[in-house]
Every structure is written in C-alpha cells, then in structure tokens.
C-alpha cells in the first residue's frame, strides 16, 4: 500500500519457538511504541531479543528503552510518534559504523540476562529470609 512491501516483512503472529529465526533474518529491530503511562514504565522483552541476535535497536524515547539503548550503545532512540525522526534513525543506523549490534550483544551477554538477574534476585530474597 505504501510501497514498503519489498523492504518490510509483516509476519503477523509468530510462535515463540520460531521467533529467533525471524529476528536473525532482520537488519534492524524497531520498537515504535507510542509513549504512555504503561510504555514509560516497562521494558519490552523484544529489546533483549534483538540485542541477543546482534541487531541494532531503534526504539521510541520511552525512558526505560532510552536508558538501556543509551547505556549500552545498542542503537538509537527516536521521538515517539514522529515518523520523520524514525526514518532518520533507520538511515543513521544503516550509515553508522558504531557497532550497535555488537554493543547490544555484549550487554545481553554480561548484564541483561536471566543467569545474572537470577543471582541478583537470590541475593535480595536471601536478605529477607
């Protein structure tokens, strides 16, 4: 309809067991969430899925996603609801040599994963025991 069909694959619902093969086939992981009370206080799991697959991440400027992307260097942030800003972020990622995908993978390997979070959670739980 907008002429983007040759650039964008709309997969619809994908079973979680097949998810990573689709993510790995992508060039960029985009999270175009519109800011809201919910979006501004939660972190979507897909950001970590994209990072684990070494995809550069482009996400709207909700504080939790902005914090992770800026802290890790995993990608770029655009102004929520601003399609021109999103388009520019895509161009900037494609023209960049900053290693966004590798930065994200490194962050998931060393900080943002369940093995490490499990240890932190156990420490907190044991302190209350």
What is the extent of the structural domain holding 68?
A: 16-128
Give the pLDDT score at 71: 98
Assigned domain for 80 exists: yes
Assigned domain for 2 exists: no
In tens digits, what is the pLDDT along the chain, a chain of 129 residues? 677 777 777 888 999 899 999 999 999 999 999 999 999 999 999 999 999 999 999 999 999 999 999 999 999 999 999 999 999 999 999 999 889 999 999 999 999 988 888 888 888 899 987
Assigned domain for 9 exists: no
Assigned domain for 4 exists: no
Q: What is the CATH classification number for the domain harbouring 21?
A: 3.40.50.2000
Tally of domains within the chain: 1
Assigned domain for 11 exists: no
Assigned domain for 119 exists: yes
Assigned domain for 23 exists: yes
Give the pLDDT score at 76: 98
Assigned domain for 22 exists: yes
Q: Give 119-123 contacts, CB < 8 A, sequence gap 24+.
A: none
Give the pLDDT score at 1: 60
């Amino acid at each position: 309809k907008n002429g983007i069909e040759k650039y964008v694959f709309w997969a619809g619902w994908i079973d979680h067991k097949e998810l990573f093969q689709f993510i790995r086939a992508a060039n960029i992981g985009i999270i175009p969430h519109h800011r809201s009370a919910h979006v501004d206080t939660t972190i979507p799991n897909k950001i970590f899925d994209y990072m684990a697959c070494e995809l550069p991440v482009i996400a709207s400027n909700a504080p939790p996603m902005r914090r992770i992307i800026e802290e890790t260097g995993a990608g770029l942030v655009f102004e929520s609801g601003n399609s021109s800003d999103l388009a520019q972020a895509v161009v900037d990622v494609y023209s960049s040599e900053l290693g966004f995908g590798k930065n994200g993978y490194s962050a998931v390997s060393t900080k943002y994963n369940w093995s490490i979070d499990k240890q932190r959670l156990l420490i907190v739980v044991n302190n209350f025991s």
